[in-house]
Structure 1
Amino acid sequence: MNRETVFEQLTGEIFDAFVIGGGIVGAGVARDAAMRGLRVALVDRHDFAFGTSSRSSRLLHGGLRYLEQGRVRLVREASVEKMRLHKLAPHLAQPLGFVFPAYRGEGRPLWQLGIGVKLYDLLCGGRNLKPSRRLDVAAVQGLAPQLKIDRLAGAVLYYDGLTNDARLVVDTLRSAAQHGAVVANYTRLVDASRRGEVWHCEVRDELTGRTATVRARAIVNATGPWAEGVPHSAVKLRLSKGIHIVVDRARLATREAVVITEGKRLLFVLPWGERTIVGTTDTDYEGAPEAVRVQPEDVRYVLDTVARFFPRVDLQPQDVISSWAGLRPLVANPDGTPSDVSREHQILSPEPGWWDITGGKLTTYRLMAEQAGDRLARFLGKGEAHSRTADEPLLASGPEAAFSSIVPGACTRAAVEHYVRHEWARHLDDVLVRRSSWHYYHTDTEAQARRVAGWMAELLNWSPAMVEHQLERYHSLVDQAAATAGTAPRSSAPAASAAGR
């Protein structure tokens, strides 16, 4: 993972494909292309999975609500991909039941939900992770004892998958690298120009300031919310913000996930080890992608919605352990609310050898990558014509599985060393926020940060001044997140139990 060696590789040859963006789509494209035998390079101006791909609902799902919108093809595509990922990456596709309650006189009637989930099962190729079924009131209370029962007619139970979004990105990139892809985070595309049949791309190492030129026959712009600002891009986006909050499971507990509704939106209450995740919102966003934040009104919206369905819980902003905000890079459509905008993806080629790929969702990333790989192979006239990613496991099982769990594990030196040596971690927040999710899960953030910074200092030869810089960088992230969200500072949060370590 030596950056000097990586930069020598980036500048030492003409690549078949140069992927800009190290989120889930870019990672998928790099893996697909490399597995076809193409020479591939990938860079990201931030860390891998810095944007949307570490700030999702952490679900692999077909999108049950899209059935109401008549988007059956989209649901089928995503449902089939959900099942594929369960087979190809079982360590990152945990089956999770969803309780969707029906109340008399409000919302969707029970009979309609029953038909919907049976159709949902069929669109998964005829067999979902587990079969859906109806639940009577007693069964609902057994799975979600804090849920309100006033006018409760029953519920349906259907299944989707819980994942770790950032981990899925990193594992996909590791697979791409195993197949020969050259990848570098904190490497920014400055400009690009086509000379003859080859693109010349000026890149800058954001860690050292040095610049270099990467040459490639084809470019794929997979930068998500940043796609419009990339040179030569033809992308037009409508950015939609979604936020999630994390609370202690002792305050809000369910055995399975619960679907709660606010108008057209569905929010999810997701069990996550000793924690519970609640989200998401869906509102238009017009600022810089890196500046997206959870705001107090976002938190209040989620808490108010929870209060309607769990009236005895009485969650308050000070109960929020952590939160995150992400952006959906939706294909531009000025009509309707963000919830109405299709999650369809789009692949455009505005110039010879240049592709913009945007839209879609976490669950369909492999399909998006396959379609981009098809276009690359045809344009280049080389590489395998058919993708292998639908059949080949994401990663072979091995000791690395200890660091790929969906629920964060213990904060250990062995894990930190793995992230630094094998997963491109270069900053303290790379480890705490994206590689491990410890930042979102544990509450002893100050002690944990100092412990991890000490281990990283030994591995990366940080000076005492660099250790303090890294701690300040991380504290800025933590304090700013709490301040903008109007939630309790992390230092004052209640200590997690020993079992959460």
Structure 2
Amino acid sequence: MSTKTFSALDRNSTIKQMENEHFDLLVIGGGITGSGIALDAINRGLKVGLIERNDFASGTSSRSGKLIHGGLKYLQKLDFNVIKEIGSERDFVYNNARHLVYPIKMNFPLIKKESYNLLTLKAGLSLYDRLAGVKKDERHVIYGRKKTLQYEPLFNEKTVTGSGAYVEYRTDDSRLTLEVAKTASEKGATVLNYAEMTDFLQDENNHVKGVIAKDLIQGQNIRITAAHVVNAAGPWVDEVRKKDRPITGKYMVLAKGIHIVFDHQSLPVKSSIYFQHKGRMIAVIPRGDSTYVGSTESIYKQDMDDIYVKSKEVDYLIGCLHSMFPSLDLGKKDVVSSWAGIRPLIGEDGNSPAELSRHDEIFESDTGLITIAGGKLTGYRKMAERVLQHMEKKDSTIKSKNTTDHVKLSGGHFNSQEEITSHVPYLQGKFKHLNLSIEEVNDYVFRYGSNTENLLKLIDRYDDRLEDKELRNIAAEVRYTVEHEMAASLADFYDRRTSYLLFDLDKVKRTLTVVAEEMAQLLEWTEARTTDEIEKMNYEVEKALTFVE
């Protein structure tokens, strides 16, 4: 195991490592794709560096529908190879990160005038079970109209004619990405967030041999050399490519999607639901005290770093809900949070929007810069494998195979679902004096997994410092994420480490002062920096509830 840390407090030593080592591979981008490539490469014995210009998962990888899909939605397109691949990949992700990936019951209602009927749904789900290698106890069940309405009384009884029930897997996309990056670091990769690539280094033959990156926290430039450089910057890959060569051939087309969040009592569905509305698939997913709904899809050409939810997009999703659940009087007033994200689709001159590719593709320029674009959260391991296979063709020293199918992610050291659920009462009993409810410990375990005990030890240390239990807990949680998860801003903590911004805005408002004070002390912020961080966080809270025209 590496002695490298994954702490924001050790940033200076990480920067020195970046400057002093010559890497076999440098990855640009700390989303799920880049983090997955770093983990694959370090597991093969390569010397690996990774830089991310913002925070891990700060782009597409924290703004998905938070599902590890088995590929059902690709049935209509007859994309059987994709279904087969990501169906098997889902099992690997589940086994390696049980604290973040878990099965949920998904209800697929049959609706009049939509494309599925009882026959095609049965055939489709049967084919899906076979292609995706679905476990016997998770295979689909078909219900008639009567049983469907018994199981979900909120359905529109005038339009729903039956349903299929199958198993999907829910996740926390930003934490999954973080744990992949952290695992790569634990195995020896040198990983740095808030380091923006500004220029390429080239040798006398004009081949890329590294980058100049700017440390966005302290302002200095970092010179990083590497034998191979992979651009895995997600929606920003073309911005990176432009610094190497003018864009020719294929290019990124950005698709925007939004999700809106309700209190579960406002949208009290009994299980997760995936339904068609005029051909488009809409997901309704219960999560604790919330239910979130998405997604829309539209071509996006505006600011990639500040994406707003539009009023008409919310109206569209609420309209879909009204058609599916007519007894519920849902409106914008009931939306308690929201998020918007973009994903890169691959376009080419002469092709129509309908021909945009949703598959991952690898490009290589004449300077040797390798770019991977597109892809899906579930398939991150396979995307990494394809990048390493591409590198192997031109570098004979890269010969070992991808073995990350059996690499437990940080926090994921459980061998069964029973093992993780039994860990919750064990920890509650061990730290009984902290008066944590079983629900609170459960939330921590399904966030931090096998690392949760380290957090509870910190809460114990804070027990005499803060009388208010909620403030005590969150102050300790801040410290844990700074010291062990490279959190370097309030948004890192509230959004990508904990998802409080997405699912518990009231908690953000209640705790912001204490969290800002704790983080400022740990990271030695100036008063001006602290004020700026609080203002930015208030902006994010406002944005989650503001829908622009």
Using the TM superposition, give the Cα deviation of residue 257 of structure 1 relative to its aligned residue in structure 2, in angstroms.
0.9
Alignment partners' CA distance in 2, 1:388 and 1:76? 19
Using the TM superposition, give the Cα deviation of residue 9 of structure 1 relative to its aligned residue in structure 2, in angstroms.
0.4
Q: Residue in 2 aligned with 1:440? A: 502
Alignment partners' CA distance in 2, 1:89 and 1:407? 10
Aligned pairs for 1:66-465 (under 5 A) are 66-125=74-133, 127=135, 130-196=138-204, 199-230=209-240, 231-232=243-244, 236-332=251-347, 335=351, 341-395=356-410, 396-397=412-413, 403=444, 405=446, 412-444=474-506, 445-465=508-528
**Contact 1:97–1:159 (CA under 8 A) maintained in structure 2:** yes
Specify every segment of 5 or more residues in structure 1 that has no aligned partner in the other structure, as ranges: 487-501
Using the TM superposition, give the Cα deviation of residue 93 of structure 1 relative to its aligned residue in structure 2, in angstroms.
1.5
1:433 partner amino acid: D
| Distance 1:49-1:251 versus aligned 2 partners, 3 A rule | same
SS of the residue 1:147 aligns to: coil
| Distance 1:273-1:481 versus aligned 2 partners, 3 A rule | closer
SS of the residue 1:16 aligns to: strand
SS of the residue 1:351 aligns to: coil
Using the TM superposition, give the Cα deviation of residue 401 of structure 1 relative to its aligned residue in structure 2, in angstroms.
9.5
Alignment partners' CA distance in 1, 2:22 and 2:273? 51
Alignment partners' CA distance in 2, 1:126 and 1:433? 33
Task: Give the stretch that moved more between structures: 222-231 or 370-379.
Answer: 370-379
**Contact 2:208–2:229 (CA under 8 A) maintained in structure 1:** no
SS of the residue 2:336 aligns to: strand
Q: Does 1:17 align with 2:17?
A: no
Using the TM superposition, give the Cα deviation of residue 106 of structure 1 relative to its aligned residue in structure 2, in angstroms.
4.1
2:395 partner amino acid: L
Q: Residue in 2 aligned with 1:491? A: none
SS of the residue 2:262 aligns to: strand
| Distance 1:280-1:407 versus aligned 2 partners, 3 A rule | farther
1:82 partner amino acid: R
Using the TM superposition, give the Cα deviation of residue 384 of structure 1 relative to its aligned residue in structure 2, in angstroms.
4.8
Task: Show CA shifts across 1:139-180 (max 9, x none).
Answer: 323432212112422100111110000001100011000111
Task: Give the stretch that moved more between structures: 320-329 or 85-94.
Answer: 85-94
| Distance 1:38-1:470 versus aligned 2 partners, 3 A rule | same
Q: Residue in 2 aligned with 1:489? A: none
Q: Does 1:60 align with 2:68?
A: yes
Using the TM superposition, give the Cα deviation of residue 421 of structure 1 relative to its aligned residue in structure 2, in angstroms.
0.6
**Contact 1:81–1:364 (CA under 8 A) maintained in structure 2:** yes
Alignment partners' CA distance in 2, 1:128 and 1:274? 30
**Contact 2:26–2:210 (CA under 8 A) maintained in structure 1:** no
Alignment partners' CA distance in 2, 1:106 and 1:291? 35
Alignment partners' CA distance in 2, 1:277 and 1:165? 14
**Contact 1:16–1:380 (CA under 8 A) maintained in structure 2:** no
Alignment partners' CA distance in 2, 1:206 and 1:129? 49
When the two chains are superposed, the root-mean-square deviation of aligned CA atoms in Å is 2.4
| Distance 1:39-1:226 versus aligned 2 partners, 3 A rule | same
**Pick aligned residue for 2:58 from 50, 57, 62:** 50
SS of the residue 1:370 aligns to: helix
Q: Residue in 1 aligned with 2:455? A: none
Alignment partners' CA distance in 2, 1:35 and 1:462? 36
Alignment partners' CA distance in 2, 1:305 and 1:335? 30
| Distance 1:146-1:213 versus aligned 2 partners, 3 A rule | same
1:184 partner amino acid: L
Alignment partners' CA distance in 2, 1:269 and 1:188? 36
TM norm structure 2 = 0.83
| Distance 1:200-1:154 versus aligned 2 partners, 3 A rule | closer
Alignment partners' CA distance in 1, 2:37 and 2:162? 43
Alignment partners' CA distance in 2, 1:393 and 1:106? 41
SS of the residue 2:99 aligns to: helix
1:440 partner amino acid: L
Alignment partners' CA distance in 2, 1:34 and 1:299? 43
| Distance 1:37-1:270 versus aligned 2 partners, 3 A rule | same
Task: Give the stretch that moved more between structures: 403-412 or 467-476.
Answer: 403-412
1:223 partner amino acid: A
Alignment partners' CA distance in 1, 2:73 and 2:510? 42
Percent identical among aligned pairs is 32
SS of the residue 2:339 aligns to: strand
**Contact 2:262–2:336 (CA under 8 A) maintained in structure 1:** yes
1:225 partner amino acid: P
* Number of equivalent positions: 485
Task: Show CA shifts across 1:354-407 (max 9, x none).
Answer: 210011111111110111122334433334520111122223528999746269
Specify every segment of 5 or more residues in structure 2 that has no aligned partner in the other structure, as ranges: 1-6, 415-426, 428-440, 453-469
SS of the residue 1:390 aligns to: helix
**Contact 1:38–1:382 (CA under 8 A) maintained in structure 2:** no
2:484 partner amino acid: H
| Distance 1:345-1:401 versus aligned 2 partners, 3 A rule | farther
**Contact 1:248–1:274 (CA under 8 A) maintained in structure 2:** yes
SS of the residue 1:332 aligns to: strand
Using the TM superposition, give the Cα deviation of residue 59 of structure 1 relative to its aligned residue in structure 2, in angstroms.
0.5
| Distance 1:358-1:198 versus aligned 2 partners, 3 A rule | closer
Alignment partners' CA distance in 2, 1:129 and 1:484? 42
TM norm structure 1 = 0.91
**Contact 2:363–2:372 (CA under 8 A) maintained in structure 1:** yes
Alignment partners' CA distance in 1, 2:294 and 2:279? 14
